[in-house]
Amino acid sequence: MSDIRVEKPTEDQLKEIGVREWPIWEKESSKFDWYYSDKETCYLLEGKVTVTPENAEAVDFGAGDLVVFPKGMKCIWNIKEDVRKHYSFG
């Protein structure tokens, strides 16, 4: 079981947490190792991704998903369609 949380938020939920004020990160299709030194919450505007945590099942998510990654997680990001996302750490 993965500690990655994926949900489909409403526009009201997005406004409540201020997603549209967060910075934007963009990345082309690629595959890379990643380590979360802090908790990250992100909202995907575009793209499709599979993240495979160390010792856990792969998690798929894409445009319209709000995703929370736990602090201390090691994983592999596999970006299948170019990503554009809002993100916040902490």
Q: Count the domains in the chain.
A: 1
pLDDT at 79 over 80: yes
Q: Which two tokens stand for residue 3?
A: 């500690």
Q: Global pTM?
A: 0.95
Single out the residue of 72, 45, 75 nearest to residue 58, CA to CA: 75
Return the CATH number at 53. 2.60.120.10
Q: Within a 13 Å sphere around the CA of 30, how many CA atoms are in the beta-carbon half?
A: 7
Query: What is the share, in percent, of the chain residues with pLDDT greater than 70?
Result: 99
Band of pLDDT at residue 38, cut at 50, 70 and 90: very high
Host domain of residue 54 = 5-89
